[in-house]
Each structure stands twice: as C-alpha cells, then as structure tokens.
Structure 1
Amino acid sequence: MTVDRDDHPSTLLADRTRRPALALPEAPATATSGLRGAAARVLFERVARRLPIVVDYGPSDTRTRGDLPTMTITEPDAFFRRIGSDGLIGLGESYMAGEWTADDLVGVLVPFAERIGTVVPPSLQRLRRLLLPTQPSDEENSVDNTRSNISRHYDLSNDLFALFLDETLTYSSAHFGSDEQAAVAEWVELADAQRAKIDRLLDHAQVGAGTRVLEIGTGWGELALRAAARGATVRSVTLSAEQRAHALRRAREADLSDRIRVDLLDYRAVDGEYDAVVSVEMIEAVGMEYWPVYFETVERLLAPGGRAAIQAITMPHDRMLSSARTYTWIHKYIFPGGQIPSGEAMRDAAASAGLQFDAVEEFGMHYARTLQLWRERFEGQWPLIADLGFDETFRRMWTFYLAYSEAGFAARYLDVVHLRFVKNKN
C-alpha cells in the first residue's frame, strides 16, 4: 500500500529516519560512569534473580535456561554503564546499539513492568531527579513546541505506518469485543476491531445524523470518515501535515469532502460550537501542565449538553505522580513531550473545567494484542521498510518501542480507556 508523502523526498526521508542512528551516543566511558555501572550491575542482578527470566552473558554462559525468556547481554560493561548513567534511557539505547538482545523481548520486559514500582529501591527513587536526565525545555508542549514534537513521530513517513498498520491506518488500540477474543485475534481481524473501537467511541459521543463533531487529533482519517458516514459534519484538527494530506485524500475518495474538514491547527486555537468532541490517544501528547487547558478547551467548544468521548492510555495515579517530569527513552526517541495520565487526573481536570464524568470502559489487554500484531507485522515487513531508507538502528529502536509498550499493557501497568464527559445544559 503506497500513500502520499507530500514534501519528504526519499533523500530527505533517509536523512530523517537515520537520525536516531547518527544520534545514538556511545556508552559513557568516564570514571564516574564506571562506578555507576558497577552499582547498576549489583542492583540489576539482585533484581533479575527474583524474576522469571534468565540473564546470560553470551555463548560461553552455561547457566540453565529452561523455558524462561532469556536476556543475553553481549557487552556487559557498556550495558551497565549506560543503565548506571541514564537509567531506562540507557536500557533502550543499549538495545538499539545491539549490546543486549532477547529470544522473547516482550517476555523479558513484562516481569520488569509488573514490578516497576519496586524494581528500584525507594531510597534511589527519591534521587531520580538528581541522578537522571530531566525533560528538555524545548519539548514542553507549548504552542510553539507542540507541532515539532508531533512531527518528529507522525511525519516520519505515511508509507512506514502503512506497512505495519492495518488497512484503516488506525494507530491506537483496537477493540476485539472481549479479552478472550483479543487473546486469539489474528491480523486479518485487526481492521474490523479498529472499526468496532471507533464505532464504540462514536456511540459514547452519540454521534449521528446532523451531529456537529470536533475530532482532536486526526490520525489518518478513519474516525472522521466513519462519523461522516453516519451523517455527521466533522471538523478534525491535527499538527501532522502528512496525516492531514492523507485524511483529506480519503475524504475525497469517499465522496465525503462536504462533511469533513481537516485543519492543520493546534487544538487550543479551535473555534466554534460542537455537539460532540472525540479524541483518540491524543491527550498523552498534551503534557501534564496542559491537561487543565485541554479540558477547558473541550468545555468551551461543546454546546450545552454536548458529549466528549476520549480514548486514552492510562497508568496508576501514584506512578504518574512519581514519574512526572522524568525524561524517558520514549520521550527521547519516540514521543517527545508526552505524558501518560491517570484516570483520576483526567477526571479531576475535567471536573475543574466544568465537565461531568459520565462513563468509563477499560480494555487494556486489547492494546497488548494490538501491539503484538503491529510488532509482528513490522518485523515481517522489515525488507520493505528498509527500502524506504530506514536503517538497522531504527529497526531495533522501533522493535523495542513496540515490545516495551506491549509489555506495559500485558503487565497491566498500563491500561486504555474510553471516557465520556458531558457539559451541563445550564
């Protein structure tokens, strides 16, 4: 499947996608990093001994593996120096550098995710902000920075996403009907599960004929198309030029251009009045300090009695608070400026803005399966992805991202929810 790639010729695409490889730092080699590395090794091996995994150090390691997933550390000095100096950023960069691998990457990561609050002793957690990097100011989600943050991920290449997503080009959790169905779902069922997820969200927002819909975060247009097919008029806003171009083309091809408008616009600058506001996994890119503004904007734009239906990735509230402003591997390489909220934080911000919380639906295990299908598809399509100009470091980076995310949902550390809010009629 080939999709339009507006202003990114192949030479520029190659430069953009190879940037992570060129920017990947060498393992630190200072005396301080050596001491930190030694301490990290003691802590890591103490933790790993209690987990249902095997850690070995290459072909000469003779320890019994059994049926447990195996993490093979081929360059332990570099591996522990990176972790000791940069924490989870170092873990991801070490994988990108090929300093460790796994026969079952998700299987290795899940036990760590299940114990994420206790892996690091409380005394060291309190020193997190002193020892580890903090978020750069130029990644804060101000009006000036947000478009750049979004572009770094979503404008990589429409062709890249088309090669590992299903035909709907929906880049968010599917809904397979039940956890049991999610567990056995196959690739061929993914597109139908994505459409079912969108329909559930539109039902939450009571979208039908004549409904004025605002979509915050366009994606590649599937939700706007399905809303318009119900007879709604849709205004969708995005900061991704690539996504906007593709969504507009799909609207034209479906003869729905008269019902769908897609603007390259920050959500804070939207005007008008809408019966329903829908948003799919966009709030994670808003930033914690801007959640009040986000919900105030939604409240301002909704007509009295209007509904907001939001799909969001969530984490436990205590973990959200303890990890706030921590600069992570995901921030550095995948989603700059992002912050996963808790359900409590969203409900509080919405209530402060004058929105009434009305309903919630949780389906985190469906995201674990969605990510597994994406990861398998990405790996199977790698030769075609490489032909787009993406290199081996990008491959390892993207594989780690998908597996790391899948492990978070499989461990139930992360969840995904549909939330509905209502604006008072008064």
Structure 2
Amino acid sequence: MRFLPHLLKRFVRKGSLTVIEPNGQRTVFGTGVDGPAVLMRLHDDKLDRELFFNPELVSAEAYMDGRLTFEDGSSVYDFLYLFSINRTGLASHPVQQALRKGWRTLKRWHQSNPLKRAASNAQSHYDHPPEFYRLWLDSQMIYSCAYFPTPDASLEEAQQAKLRHIAAKLKLEPGMRVAEIGSGWGALAIYLAKLGVHVTAINVATEQLAESKKRAEAAGVLDRITFFERDYRELTGTFDRVVSVGMMEHVGVNHFDEYFNTIKRLLGPGGFAMIHAIGRMSPPGTTAPFIRKHIFPGGYVPAMSEVFTSLERTGLWAADCEVLRLHYYWTIRHWRLNFEVKRPEVVEMMGERFARMWEFYLVAVELGFLHGSNMVFQLLLANERDDVPVIRDYIVDEERALAVRTDMAIS
C-alpha cells in the first residue's frame, strides 16, 4: 500500500483496523484500545488509491461489489462503528478537508429538486416493492423516526406512540381538513382519519400510494382520505392543519423557502402545521457521498440555523420546537436487527449487492444518530402568533386522552 497508510495512521486512534492486502501482507492501524478490532481484506490493488481519495463512498461501493470484505468475526457494523468513533481523525486529513470543500461548493447543485427530478429522486428510494419494506419495518410500515416512551419499548409500541404524539400536537377536532405532505405507506393518514378528520395525502412514490390505498380500505377509512400522486408545490386549497413527516429531508436546501411558503399558503384561518424531520445540531454541511449517490439523491439533513433562517424569510411563526435525540437511533437499531434476521429473504428478493448496500446504509445512519450530530426535530408553525395554544400542556393532555381512545377503541 502506498496511499492508504497516510490516511489510516491519522484516522484510527481508537480500536484497531488490520488491513490485508491482495498479496496477503497485513498492516495494523490503531491502538486496539477503546474500540473494536476490525479485520478488513482488500481484494483489488486499486483500492489503495481509491480509498485514500474518497473513503466514505469507495468503502461502501467496494463492500457492495465484494472487493472489500471483513473476516474473523468482523462485520460491516464493526467497521462503521470504528469509523464513527474516529470520525474527527478522518475529517482532519488535508485530502479529506479538500474533498469536503469541493462537496460544499457543489451542495446547491446536489440538492436541486425541481418538480420532475424531485419525483425521480423519491421514487428511486421509495418505489422498491412494498414486500421488501414489510420484511423489516413495523406492521404499519412506518418509515420514519419512532417515539420511544422508554428505550426498551418495542418498535410497534414506539411507532404507535409517534402517531399519537403527532396527533396530540395537531389538536384535532372532528370534521377538520388535514393536508399530509409526504404520506409514506399511509399509517398517519389512517390514524388521523380514524379520529374523524378528512386527510388529503400526497406522495410522489407510486408504489407507496398504491399500498396506502389498500391499507386505508382495509382499515375502513378510505372515504375519509384522498390520496394524490403529486409534488407538495402542486397542492392547492386551504386546510385546518398541515402535517409533514420525514419529507423536509428530501426538499433540498435550495427549496426550503418554497416548502415553507407552500405550508403558509395551505393554512386556513386559525390553522397550523406540524413538521417532523431529521436535523443536525452542527453547522450546515453536506450529504455524505454514499447516501447522496445510492440512497437519498437530492436529500439533505439541515442545520437548525438553515431551518430557522428560512422561517424568518417566509414569515411563519415557529410556535414550538421539540428535539428528539436518541429516538431515531433506537428506531434504526430495530430496523437493522430486523433486516439482519430477514437478510436471506432480502437477497432472494433484491440480490446480494442490494442487500449489502442496504445493510451499509442502515448501519451508517444508525451510528450517525449514536455518535454523530443527527437528531430529529418537530416544529409547530402558524401564520398568526396565537393559532397554536400558548401553553404546551395541551399536548400532554391530548396525548393521554388519545392513548385511551385509540389504544382501546380504534387501533
């Protein structure tokens, strides 16, 4: 190896990484203290140079292609755990600093999401067969951060608690009109419809919409939900409430003002919105190259400064902000463990390369919420200052009432 040692000597401070070259030579990096011991084999001489210049993308793609493997009990989880606890060492390397500077320069281009591209980007992730997602999500197929009353709650309990938490914040009354921007597989729309409101649910992912309609019909609430395949910018009308869960991450930093202005336009007199999205507690950054290329093209996790700067420009009141810190770590850990159990079925359905890609993705994001700067925030937004109750005790009161009503009567 000519290039990689220059990076790994500075990178691996905790734990150890043993690299086996194609010729069988072994080199150990790190102290072996305070971290896992990982054994990685390179099957291609070109990886020495490729990993040095773009380790985050190349390590993922080489693992997907079988050019990089782990041995003696080491796993991709161990490797990415080692990466996550040594992250600062990687970021301090001059080559990596130059690479990140280039990414920041291209940030707005990477996150350009005009109408047609936004639909294509979303479909590339969400229009895999529903049967694939059904293997490792909860029974309601909720693909966003759960809300854990306790860390040891089951995924089913935590996702139900999330629906209840959101509904409580919305302070619904029967007959209200609710717009849902980014409706997933329909779990939230179904939950809200059972509370006696009418939901207009939009999505650009064809497979998700088809599955949502089946689920709504099975739940007996299809007459109270209108599903549309359209972009958020194309939605018209006015609503008592607007809710958007796991959607803002797909908007792109160029389009935050469009997103919030759309919400502002959709809210009728006295109405307000609830936004649930992934954020970062660190300054504005970029989307990791593997995630950007293979998982969420056009996606971006915003810094809170970017969110609130856009709100200031659009003139919406931020009436409430709640930060969920470890909740998504616990959620994704459940997903990853479920995925591991079902991995043979994933391979049969989607192929080995896809299974490795998804495995890398789940592990990377799980550890990003454990050791990185990612979290989830929930905002209540309104056109007028007092449209949201000025004392937030109502949320707890509503949540307790819903726990009795939904868990006993309509779940």
Give the TM-score category using the shorter length.
Answer: 0.7 to 0.9
Contact 2:179/2:200 (CA < 8 Å) preserved in 1?
Answer: yes
Q: Give yes or no for the alignment of 1:393 onto 2:353.
A: yes
How many pairs does the alignment contain? 376
For residues 273-319 of structure 1, give each alpha carbon's deviation from its aligned partner in whole angstroms, at most 9, with x where no partner exists: 0111111111111111001100000001011332111111111342x
Deviation of residue 225 (structure 1)? 0.5
Deviation of residue 120 (structure 1)? 2.2
* Partner of residue 145, structure 2: 173
* Partner of residue 56, structure 1: 18
* Partner of residue 42, structure 1: 6
Deviation of residue 331 (structure 1)? 1.1
* Partner of residue 101, structure 1: 70
Give 1:73's aligned amino acid.
M
Q: Give yes or no for the alignment of 1:242 onto 2:207.
A: yes
Give 2:38's aligned amino acid.
M
Q: TM-score, normalised by structure 2?
A: 0.84
Structure with more relative contact order (C-alpha pairs < 8 Å, separation 6 or more): 1
* Partner of residue 256, structure 1: 221
Give secondary structure in 1 for the equivalent of 2:223. coil
Q: Which runs of 5+ in 1 are unaligned?
A: 1-36
Q: Which runs of 5+ in 2 are unaligned?
A: 387-411
Which of 90, 97, 107 matches 2:58? 90
Which of 164, 179, 184 matches 2:136? 164
Which of 88, 91, 95 matches 1:120? 91
Give 2:356's aligned amino acid.
R
Give 2:138's aligned amino acid.
D
Which of 312, 316, 320 matches 1:359? 320
Which residues of 2 match residues 1-400 of structure 1 at below 5 A?
38-48=2-12, 50-51=13-14, 53-58=15-20, 61=26, 68-75=35-42, 77-98=45-66, 99-101=68-70, 103-110=74-81, 112-113=83-84, 116=87, 119-121=90-92, 123-124=94-95, 127-128=98-99, 140-177=112-149, 181-182=150-151, 184-185=152-153, 189-318=154-283, 320=284, 323-324=285-286, 328-388=289-349, 390-400=350-360
Deviation of residue 207 (structure 1)? 2.5
Deviation of residue 169 (structure 1)? 0.2
Deviation of residue 65 (structure 1)? 5.8
For residues 47-77 of structure 1, give each alpha carbon's deviation from its aligned partner in whole angstroms, at most 9, with x where no partner exists: 20x12x2201249759696884232220174
Give secondary structure in 1 for the equivalent of 2:146. coil
Q: CA RMSD in A?
A: 2.7
Give secondary structure in 1 for the equivalent of 2:91. coil
Contact 1:56/1:73 (CA < 8 Å) preserved in 2?
Answer: yes
Contact 1:40/1:84 (CA < 8 Å) preserved in 2?
Answer: yes
Give 1:158's aligned amino acid.
P
Q: How far apart are the structure 2 equivalents of 1:349 and 1:416?
A: 18
Contact 1:40/1:83 (CA < 8 Å) preserved in 2?
Answer: yes
* Partner of residue 17, structure 1: none
Q: How far apart are the structure 2 equivalents of 1:238 and 1:163?
A: 22
Q: How far apart are the structure 2 equivalents of 1:349 and 1:123?
A: 33
Q: How far apart are the structure 1 equivalents of 2:343 and 2:93?
A: 41
Q: Judging changes above 3 Å, is the alpha-carbon distance between structure 1 residues 122 and 85 closer, same or farther for their aligned structure 2 residues? A: closer
Q: How far apart are the structure 2 equivalents of 1:191 and 1:383?
A: 23
* Partner of residue 363, structure 2: 403
Give 1:280's aligned amino acid.
V
Give 1:55's aligned amino acid.
L
Give 1:159's aligned amino acid.
E
* Partner of residue 418, structure 1: 378
